[in-house]
A = this chain, B = another copy of it.
Amino acid sequence: MKVLIVHAHPEPQSFTAALKDAAIADLTAAGHEVVVSDLYAMQWNPVASAADFGSRGNPEYMNYALEQRANAEAGTLAADIEAELAKVMAADLIIFTFPLYWFSVPAILKGWFDRVLVSGRVYGGRRFYDQGSLAGKRGWLVLTCGGRDYMLSEGGIHGDMTQILKPVLQGTLAYTGLSVLPPFTGYHIPYLSPEKRAEILADFRARLAALDSVEPLTMPVLASYDREMKPLDREMKPLA
């Protein structure tokens, strides 16, 4: 199996980096091929802009997604985007390791989504969710946060973590066709003892070893919707 790890933490000694390093070590030892995009180390540019395009479908007015399609077809996407896309296309499993910032990914990783998940390459037109171009590959979020698990659960003060991560789990990973594994979350990390952190690291390694037995999350399937993306199995009440 080929594995791409996209890592986004500003501190190389962080516990998030320890999770990333454990994944590299254990997956390599198991005979898999691991490639790492360490976004801070690469000084990854997260800002989607006209500078990403070597040609223009419309030189007068830039719609980012439409220019992605035009430039994907013309072969004129920026080199740093093409390099990441090649890693994505080669991978069977993509792991994202990051700290939760504002109930989401750090901006440097958000900008990897914005720039690398190119319309016309990984999705486009009627190719999204199970029809997305990354179908057959798996995606996995591995994250750390300061909150405690009960604060990020149903009935807790912030609500359920899977709901909080929905824009990433469904709106990003599943949208491109990835089968999305249940996230691994290390809670309350800045405040834990080394012993507690070691326990979480051991839990993570056990999850890594058992990856193939994990059921992906349930996501929308295009066959349940008509050509206008209205659900086929219920009465639709249009809002406008």
A: which residues have CB within 8 A of B? 10-11, 13-14, 40, 46-50, 61-66, 99, 101-108, 110-111, 113-114, 117, 129, 146, 148-151, 153, 155-159, 163-164, 166-168, 170-172, 175, 187, 190, 220, 225, 228-231, 234, 236, 238-240
Which residues on the B side are within 8 Å of A234 (C-beta)? Answer: 155
Q: Are A164 and B164 in contact (CB under 8 A)?
A: no
Q: Which of B105, B159, B166, B240 contacts A164 (CB 8 A)?
A: B166
Which residues on the B side are within 8 Å of A149 (C-beta)? Answer: 239-240
Q: Are B110 and A104 in contact (CB under 8 A)?
A: yes
CA distance A10 to B46 in the complex (A): 13
Q: Are A102 and B172 in contact (CB under 8 A)?
A: yes
Q: Are A170 and B150 in contact (CB under 8 A)?
A: no
Q: Are A170 and B158 in contact (CB under 8 A)?
A: yes
- A sample of 17 more A-B contacts (CB under 8 A), given A102-B110, A103-B166, A159-B166, is A11-B61, A13-B61, A40-B47, A47-B108, A48-B108, A63-B190, A64-B99, A64-B101, A102-B114, A104-B168, A104-B171, A107-B108, A107-B113, A111-B111, A149-B240, A157-B229, A164-B166
